[in-house]
Amino acid sequence: MKAFAELYRSLDETTKTSVKLAALRRYFSEAPPADAAWAVYFLCGRKPRQIVKTRDLRAWAAETANIPEWLFDDCYDAVGDLAETIALVLPEPESSSNSPLSEWVERRLLPLRELEFPAKRTALVAAWSELDRIQRLVFNKLLTSAFRIGVAQTLLTRALADTAGRCAAYTTIRVARVHEAHLHSERFTEMT
């Protein structure tokens, strides 16, 4: 998750195509196949449907941050983004997780949908406690189905083609087939 969060930060902080391309190439050259597959899925604009109700997220974040809901609401009004507000108000973790993106998505994020209260709240608060601020932001964006980043599909395809040593046309066709939520590491190898 750390590497994907850093990729998100790198992409979000620039409008320069060359910087974005370098960040994507770096990520895909270093990421395990399962993480790369999920990254492609998210960077193509696909996302899981909302996993936790917004009102629950707001209440649990305020409670975890030990602030009244009215103060959380004022922070949200100032920031304008729920995922970012949550990432900013929660206390800093004692350490941050080194678990890969694929593990966070497959074992932590998606299973939340099946949990009922209070298990869902407990699992979510535990996840927040293991993530640093940028990781929380990305996790919350995925959680709320609000993950968007300024990367053209052609740029993503170019980075993948460069990393895999394939032609861009071939990679474009392969990336177009990314449509399932549960990608496996073998799928990334097939796509490249």
pLDDT, tens only, 17-60: 999 999 999 999 999 999 999 999 999 888 888 899 999 999 99
Residues 6+ apart with CB under 8 A from 41: 178, 181, 183
Does any domain span residue 109? yes
Residues 123, 171 within the same domain: no
Query: 148 in a domain, yes or no?
Result: no
Question: Which residues touch 138 (CB under 8 Å, ≥6 apart)?
Answer: 1, 4, 5, 8, 147
| pLDDT the model gives residue 176 | 60
For residue range 84-116, list pLDDT tens digits in order: 999 999 999 888 899 999 999 999 999 999 999
Both 18 and 78 in one domain: the answer is no
- Please tell me the total count of domains within the chain: 2
Omega of the bond leading into 118 within 30 degrees of 0 (cis): yes
Q: Look up the domain containing 27 and give its range.
A: 2-47+153-191
